[in-house]
Amino acid sequence: MLLTTGEILADLFSQKNGDSFNFSATVGGAPFNACVSAVQSGASAIFVGRVGADIIGDYLADMANKIAFSQLILQKDSKRNTTLAFVTLEKGERSFSFFRNNTADSYLEQFDLNAYGEISIFHIGTLMLSEKHGRDFVRFMLKQAKQKHITIAVDVNFRPSLFACEKEMLSAFSDVIEYADILKLSNDELCLLEKGSTDTLSFEDTLATFTKSNCHRLIAVTAGNKGSYFLRHGKVTYIPVKKVLPPIDTTGAGDAFFGSLLASLDGLDYMTADNNTLISVFEKANQAGAAATQYKGALNAALFL
Q: Which domains does the chain have, with CATH numbers?
A: 2-304 (3.40.1190.20)
Rounded mean pLDDT of the chain? 88
d(CA 85, CA 9): 7
| Averaged pLDDT, 225-244 | 90
Q: What are phi and psi of 13, to 5 degrees?
A: -95, 130
| pLDDT score of 24 | 78
| pLDDT score of 303 | 54
Residues 6+ apart with CB under 8 A from 121: 1, 2, 3, 150, 151, 152, 153, 182, 262, 265, 266
Tell me the residue type at 130: S
Tell me the residue type at 155: D
| pLDDT score of 137 | 96
Q: Could you tell me whether strands 84-90 and 71-77 are parallel, antiparallel, or unpaired per DSSP bridges?
A: unpaired
Cβ(228)–Cβ(241) below 8 Å: yes
H or E element that contains 78: none
Among 230, 221, 152, CA closest to 191: 221
d(CA 122, CA 177): 14
pLDDT in tens, 149-172: 999 999 998 988 888 898 999 999
Using DSSP, state whether 36 is helix, strand or coil: helix
| pLDDT score of 258 | 96
| Averaged pLDDT, 205-230 | 88
| pLDDT score of 50 | 97
| pLDDT score of 91 | 54
- Of 12-26, 52-66, 179-193, 234-248, the poorest mean pLDDT is in 12-26
| Averaged pLDDT, 164-183 | 93
Q: How confident is the model at residue 191 (pLDDT cuts 50, 70, 90)?
A: confident
| pLDDT score of 86 | 81
User: Of all residues in the chain, what percent are helix, strand and coil, respectively (each to 5)?
Assistant: 40, 25, 35
| Averaged pLDDT, 261-280 | 97
| pLDDT score of 198 | 47
Handedness of CA 8, 61, 51, 45 (dihedral sign): negative
Q: How confident is the model at residue 87 (pLDDT cuts 50, 70, 90)?
A: confident
- Of 141 and 234, the one with more pLDDT: 141
Distances from the Cα of 141 to the Cαs of 4, 17, 19, 111, 127, in angstroms?
11, 44, 46, 8, 15
